[in-house]
Amino acid sequence: MAKRIDVSGLTAYYGSHKAIEDISMTVEPRTVTAFIGPSGCGKSTFLRTLNRMHEVTSGGRVEGKVLLDDEDLYGPGVDPVSVRREVGMVFQRPNPFPTMSIFDNVAAGLRLNGNVKKSELGDIVEKSLKGANLWNEVKDRLNKPGSGLSGGQQQRLCIARAIAVEPKVLLMDEPCSALDPISTLAIEDLIGELKERFTIVIVTHNMQQAARVSDRTAFFNLAAVGQPGKLIEIDDTERIFSNPSVQATEDYISGRFG
Amino acid sequence: MDTTQITDAPPPTPQPTPAEQKRNARGATRPGDRIFLGLSRGSGILLLVIMAAIAVFLTYRASLALSKNHGNFLTTFEWNTNVTPPSFGIAVLAYGTVISSIIAMVLAVPVAVAIALFLTHYAPRRLAGPIAYVVDLLAAVPSIVYGLWGALILVPHMTGLFGWLNDFFGWTGVFSWDQGAPRSLLTVGILLAVMILPIITNVSREVFRQVPQMHEEAALALGATRWEVIRMAVLPFGRSGVISASMLGLGRALGETMAVATVLSPDFLIHGSLLNPGGGTFAQNIASKFSEATEFGRDALIASGLVLFVITLLVNGAARMIIARRKEYSGANA
Amino acid sequence: MSNAAIAEKRPSTLRGASLPRWSPWAIAAGSAAVAVAIGAGAGLTKVQWGLIAGLLFLIATYAIAATVEGRRQAKDRIATGLVWVAFLVALVPLISLVWVTVVRGVKVLDVYFLTHSMGLVADSQPGGGIYHAIIGSLEQVGLATIIAAPIGVLTAIYLVEYGRGRLAQAVTFFVDVMTGVPSIVAGLFILSLMLIFDMEPFGFAGSLALAILMMPVVVRSTEEMLKLVPNELREASLALGVPKWRTILKVVLPTSIGGITTGIMLAIARIAGETAPVLLLVFGNRFINNNPFSGPQQSLPLYVYQQYAAGNDYAYDRAWAASLALIAFVMILNLVARAIARWKAPKTGR
C-alpha cells in the first residue's frame, strides 16, 4: 500500500518570495522521515508541497517534480483532490470538525466518495479509531462532538480521520507541538505502529522526538532571513545525530545554533 | 510592600490608599469622575427610558383608539376610522406583512448566501475586494430610492414574469393573474428581496470569512472538492451566523415603509393570488392612510404600529438569542 | 479488507479524466446560443432567454461533468455554476438601480435644481428644485446628530469603561433591540407625544425620531472602537495618577476618535435616507422654511416620495434627480467615513 516519494529540483514560492529552493530527496515506503531545522527554514512549506496543499495559500506555486511511485503530482492533468486522497495530512493544531460527532469526523473522508455501505462504514470507523489507539477511550461516546475530547485525543481523532481513507502517505506537520508530554508519547507510539502501513513524513521542532520516531532525518536551513530554505542533508537518523556529514547540522543538533 | 514605598516617595501628590483606589476603579471619588460617570450612566438610562416611553405612549394612544373600535381589531377586514362608529382591524395588514416578508426571505437568503460564498471562496481575489465594497455601499442606499426604482422600473418589467407564472402555474390559484397592474404582494416581496440582499450578504460574508483556516484545510487534506469543503467546514460553522443575518434582513423587510408604499396598490382584502394587486402591510398602511387621518385615525394607526413594534421585537429577540448561543459555541471550540 | 477494496476500485492513477479549462465557457456559450434560438423561435422575452440559458448551462454542466469526471466533480462544478449564476442574477437589479438613478437623475440635476424650491412651480410643471429639501434635510439630520451623537458616545463609554452588572446588561440588550425598531414606529412614538401636546408638524419633531434611530447605531460602533483601545494604555495613564475621567477624555477617546467619527458618519448616512418618520412628523413643504422649530419643512427623501406620488413625467424627473442627489450625499458620507477609518485605524503592529 505505502508508496515511495521522489522529489527532484523542487522550488516553492509565496507570490514572488521564494520559500524553498531546489530540494531533492527520496522517501522510502514504510519509513518515518523527520524534517528538522530552525523556524522559517521552509520545512512545513516543503511538507505541504507533497500533497499540493501549498497552492491553497494565496500566491503559492511550485516548480519541480514530486513523484509518487513514478507518477508526478504536478504533472499535467493531475487532480489535486485525488492527490490529497493518496497523501493524507495531520496538522499542527488538532482540527476536528467542530459541528460533527466523533463518528462523523472519522467517516468524513469516506462519505465524500459516497459509495460506502452503512455497515461497512461502522467497521472502517472502528478500525481507524483502533489504528489511532483511540477506540477504547471513545467507543462509548461516538455520537458526542469531537471538540469535547482532550487535545491529545483530538489529535489522535484527526489521525484516525486521515487513515480512514487509506492514504499511501501520511504527512504530519508538528503534530505534537500543541500537546502535553503524555499525549505526545501516545502519538509517538502510534507513529511507530503506523509506519507498518504508511509512508510517514513528520515535521518537528523537537530533536529528541525526531531521534525517537524517525528512521531518516532531513535537516533544512536557510542562509539568512528572507533567503529561501534549503535541504542541507538527509541521512539515517542515527548518523545525523551521531556523525552528520555537514558542520551546520552538527551545530544545530548540538544546540550551537538556532 | 513595594507599592507603599512608592506611594510614600513623592509627598506633593499623595497617592490614593488601596481603599481609595478601589473606589477610584469604580470612578466615583473625585468630582470630575462623579460628573463623568453620572453623564455616561445617565445616557444609558436615557436609552432605557426612551424604549420604555415608546412602549408606554404607543400603548396609551392605541388604547384610546381600541376602546372606540366597533370592529374586531384582529379580524376586521376594513380600516374605516373617519366614520361613526369606526371599525378597523389588522388582519389584512398582518397577512400582507408576513407574506411579503416571507417572499423576500425565500428569494434573498439563498442568493445572499451564494453571493457571500462567491465573495469568500469563488471570486478571483482581485474581483472580490471591490465587489464586497460595492455591496457594502449598496446596503446604504436609502429605501425611498429602492421604492422609486421599484415603482417606475421593476413594476413595468414584472408583466412578463406575471404572464409566464399565470400561464404555467395559474391553475394553483396562488399564481393566477387578472392582467391588472403588477403592483401586488409578489412584486413587493421581490423588491424587498433586492433591498435586503446587500444586508444579508454583508453579514454572511463576515461569518464565512471567520471560518478557521484549519477546518477548511482539514477538509482539503481529506481530498474534498471546493464544494465539499464548503459543505463540511464552511456552512456548518456559519449556519447560526447566516440565520441571524437573515433575521436582521427580516426585521428590515417587516418594517419597510416607503418601498412598499410606492409599489403596492393597496386594498383591504386578502387575495388568494399573490399576483393580483391588493392587500397591505402595517408600515405601508400607516404611510398611506396618515395624511387623511383624523386624530382618532392617527391613534388607530398607532395601534397598528404597536403590533408591528411587538413583531419586530420578537424577531430581533430571536436573532439575539441565536447570536448569543453562537458565541458560547464558538468559545467552546476556541 | 473492506476499505482496501474501496480504495482499489478507484483507478490507481492520480489523473482522473477531466474537462479542459475552457469547458465552462464553451458550455455557457452553447447554452446561450440554444436559448437565443429557442427564444427567437417561440417569441419569448429577453428575461426568459436568460432564464433558459441559465437553466441549460446548469443541466449541461452537470450532465457533461458527471459522464466525464464523475459525480463528485459534477456536483462541485454545479455548485460553482450556481454561485456564479446567483451572483450575476443579483447584479441585474442592483446595477439597474444605480444605472437608472444616474441616467435619469442627471436629466434635471443642475445648479438651478439645487438652488430653487418648489414655491412657484406646480408638481405638474417642469422646473423647480430641491433647495428647500436640502435645507430641511441638513437641519433635521444636523439636529438629530447633535442629540444622538453625544448620548450614543456617552452610553458606549458607560458600557465599555464603567459598565458592570444589571444596568449595563439591560442597556446592552435594549440597544440591540432599539437597532431593530422600524423607522415608522419611531415616527409614531414622536407622533403620539405630539398628539398629547396638540402640536403641528415641524422639523425638530423629525429630528427627534431620527435621533432615536441614530442612537443605537452610534452606541454599537463606538463600543466596538473603544474595545479596540488596548487596556495597557488605560493602565499606563491610571498608573500615573491620572483620574479615570481624564484618562477617558485624554487617552481613550483620542485613540479611537477616528473610528468613532466613522461610526457617526455612517449613522448619519443611514438616517439621512429615512422617509417614514419625516412623512409623519415634518409633513413636507413646497416653500423654503429655514426654521426647524416652527412649521412644516421639506426633506430630500420625502421630496422624492411626494414627487413620485405626483405621478407625472416632470415630477418623476425631479424625483430621480433628488434621488441621485440623496444617493450622492449618502455615498460621499460613506466613502469619507471609510477613508477616515482606514487613515485613523489603530496600528496593530502586524
- Same domain? C170 vs C43: no
To the nearest whole number, what is the mean pLDDT of chain C?
87
Which 50-79 residues of chain C touch chain B by CB within 8 A?
A: 72-73, 75-76, 79
Say whether residue B314 is in contact with chain C using an 8 A CB cutoff: no
Rounded to two decimals, the pTM is 0.87
**At residue A175, what are phi and psi to the nearest 5 degrees?**
-65, -15
- Same domain? C51 vs C88: yes
Q: Concatenated DSSP letters for C90-149?
A: HHHHHHHHHHHHHHHHTTT-SHHHHH--STT--TTSS---SHHHHHHHHHHHHHHHHHHH
Distance, CA of A201 to CA of B248 (rounded, Å)? 48
Does residue B118 register a pLDDT over 90?
yes
Distance, CA of A164 to CA of A141 (rounded, Å)? 19
Q: Quick one: average pLDDT of C218-235?
A: 90
Q: Is residue C265 part of a domain?
A: yes
For B186-235, the pLDDT digits (tens) are 999 999 999 999 999 998 998 898 888 889 999 999 989 899 999 988 99
CB C229 within 8 A of CB C256: yes
Say whether residue B331 is in contact with chain A using an 8 A CB cutoff: no
Cell 424625483 belongs to residue: C319
Does residue C37 register a pLDDT over 90?
no
Question: Residue C156: what pLDDT?
Answer: 95
Count the domains in chain C.
Answer: 2
Q: Quick one: average pLDDT of B28-41?
A: 85
Q: How confident is the model at residue C6 (pLDDT cuts 50, 70, 90)?
A: very low
For B41-67, the pLDDT digits (tens) are 999 999 999 999 999 999 999 999 999
CB C104 within 8 A of CB C269: no
CB C267 within 8 A of CB C222: no
What radius of gyration, in Å, describes the C-alpha atoms of chain C? 29
Which 53-112 residues of chain C touch chain A by CB within 8 A?
A: 71-72
- Same domain? C234 vs C141: yes
CB within 8 Å: A161 and B222: yes
Q: Is residue C161 part of a domain?
A: yes
Angstrom distances, CA of residue C122 to CA of A53, B46, B288, C247, C341: 69, 44, 22, 58, 44
Segment A145-150 long-range contacts (CB within 8 Å, at least 24 positions apart): A145/A98, A145/A99, A145/A100, A145/A101, A145/A102, A146/A96, A146/A97, A146/A98, A146/A100, A146/A101, A146/A102, A146/A105, A147/A96, A147/A98, A147/B332, A147/B333, A149/A96, A149/A102, A150/A183
CB within 8 Å: A86 and C72: no
Cell 400603548 belongs to residue: B59
- Same domain? C98 vs C135: no
Strand arrangement, sheet containing A17-27:
A71-72, A60-68, A5-14, A17-27, A229-236, A216-222, A32-36, A199-203, A169-173, A87-90
Residue among C252, C261, C200, C196 at smallest CA distance from C229? C252
Question: Residue B113: what pLDDT?
Answer: 95
CB C300 within 8 A of CB C329: yes
Q: Is residue C8 part of a domain?
A: no
Question: Residue C63: what pLDDT?
Answer: 85
Question: What amino acid occupies position C70?
Answer: G
Does residue C194 register a pLDDT over 70?
yes
CB B237 within 8 A of CB B211: yes
Question: Residue A138: what pLDDT?
Answer: 92
Residues 6 or more apart from B14 whose CB is under 8 A from it?
B7
To the nearest whole number, what is the mean pLDDT of chain B?
86
- Same domain? C74 vs C155: no
**Helices C183-196/B31-67 angle, 10° precision:** 80
Does residue B333 register a pLDDT over 70?
no
**At residue A216, what are phi and psi to the nearest 5 degrees?**
-125, 150
Distance, CA of B297 to CA of A134 (rounded, Å)? 72
Query: Is omega for the bond preceding C216 within 30 degrees of 0, making it cis?
Result: no
| Total CB pairs under 8 A between chain A and C | 46
Q: Quick one: average pLDDT of C110-120?
A: 92
Residue among B302, B117, B174, B27 at smallest CA distance from C244? B27
- Same domain? C96 vs C25: yes
Question: Residue A1: what pLDDT?
Answer: 67
> Which domain, by its residues, includes C196?
131-344
> Which range has the worst mean pLDDT, C5-9, C141-145, C311-315?
C5-9
Cell 473610528 belongs to residue: C259
Question: Residue B173: what pLDDT?
Answer: 86
- Same domain? C242 vs C279: yes
To the nearest whole number, what is the mean pLDDT of chain A?
89
Q: Quick one: average pLDDT of C256-263?
A: 89
% of residues, chain C, pLDDT over 70: 92
Distance, CA of C2 to CA of B66 (rounded, Å)? 73
CB within 8 Å: B219 and A96: no
Say whether residue B251 is in contact with chain C using an 8 A CB cutoff: yes
- Same domain? C37 vs C150: no
Cell 396618515 belongs to residue: B290
Q: Is C350 exposed, middle or buried (0-12, 13-18, 19+ CB in 10 A)?
A: exposed
Residues in chain A with pLDDT < 70?
Answer: 1, 114, 256-258
Structure ipTM: 0.88
- Same domain? C96 vs C142: no
**At residue A97, what are phi and psi to the nearest 5 degrees?**
-65, 120
Say whether residue A124 is in contact with chain C using an 8 A CB cutoff: yes
- Same domain? C77 vs C147: no
Q: How confident is the model at residue C168 (pLDDT cuts 50, 70, 90)?
A: very high
Cell 542515527 belongs to residue: A238
Query: Ranked by mean pLDDT, which of B8-22, B47-61, C6-20 comes out on top?
Result: B47-61
Distance, CA of A244 to CA of A234 (rounded, Å)? 9
Q: Which of C76, C83, C272 sits opposite B117 (nearest CB)?
A: C83
Better-predicted residue by pLDDT, C67 or C309: C309
Q: Is residue C5 part of a domain?
A: no
Distance, CA of B16 to CA of B20 (rounded, Å)? 5
Distance, CA of A201 to CA of A205 (rounded, Å)? 14
- Same domain? C60 vs C164: no
Which 143-172 residues of chain A touch chain C by CB within 8 A?
A: 164-166
Angstrom distances, CA of residue A19 to CA of A26, A33, B17: 20, 21, 57
CB within 8 Å: C3 and A164: yes
Chain C neighbours, 3+ Cβ pairs < 8 A = A, B
Q: Which of C152, C192, C331 sits opposite B302 (nearest CB)?
A: C192
Mutate to test the interface with A, among C3, C68, C69 (most CBs of A within 10 A): C3
CB within 8 Å: B257 and C212: no
* Terminal C-alpha separation, chain A: 38
Chain A neighbours, 3+ Cβ pairs < 8 A = B, C
% of residues, chain B, pLDDT over 70: 89
CB C274 within 8 A of CB C180: no
For C75-93, the pLDDT digits (tens) are 888 899 899 888 988 888 9
Q: Is residue C2 part of a domain?
A: no
Question: Residue C255: what pLDDT?
Answer: 87
Residue C274 sits in a domain whose CATH number is 1.10.3720.10
Q: Quick one: average pLDDT of C104-110?
A: 93
Q: Give the residue from C87, C105, C123 where a domain finishes.
A: C105
Beta partners for residue A32, in sequence order: A200
Cell of B220: 482539503
Question: Residue A91: what pLDDT?
Answer: 92
Residues 6 or more apart from B261 whose CB is under 8 A from it?
B147, B283, B284, B287, B288, C305
For C133-153, the pLDDT digits (tens) are 999 999 999 999 999 999 999
Question: Residue B29: what pLDDT?
Answer: 67
CB A131 within 8 A of CB A160: yes
Question: Residue B282: what pLDDT?
Answer: 95
Determine the residue of chain C that is closest to A84 in CA distance.
C14
In A40-134, which ranges are continuous DSSP H helix?
43-49, 80-86, 102-113, 118-131
Q: Is residue C319 part of a domain?
A: yes
Angstrom distances, CA of residue C254 to CA of C179, C203, C257: 26, 33, 5
- Same domain? C176 vs C226: yes
Q: Quick one: average pLDDT of B105-111?
A: 96
Q: Which of C2, C14, C72 sits opposite A120 (nearest CB)?
A: C2
Question: Residue A116: what pLDDT?
Answer: 77
CB within 8 Å: A83 and C72: no
Q: Is A208 exposed, middle or buried (0-12, 13-18, 19+ CB in 10 A)?
A: exposed
Say whether residue B30 is in contact with chain C using an 8 A CB cutoff: yes
Distance, CA of C244 to CA of C241 (rounded, Å)? 9
CATH number for the segment(s) A5-99+167-253: 3.40.50.300
Does residue C40 register a pLDDT over 80?
no
Distance, CA of A79 to CA of A98 (rounded, Å)? 28
Question: What amino acid occupies position C314?
Answer: Y
Q: Is residue C110 part of a domain?
A: no
Distance, CA of C24 to CA of C28 (rounded, Å)? 6
Does residue B17 register a pLDDT over 60?
no
Determine the residue of chain A that is closest to B238 in CA distance.
A99
Does residue C290 register a pLDDT over 80?
yes
Q: Is residue C1 part of a domain?
A: no
CB within 8 Å: C14 and A164: no
Domain positions in chain A: 5-99+167-253
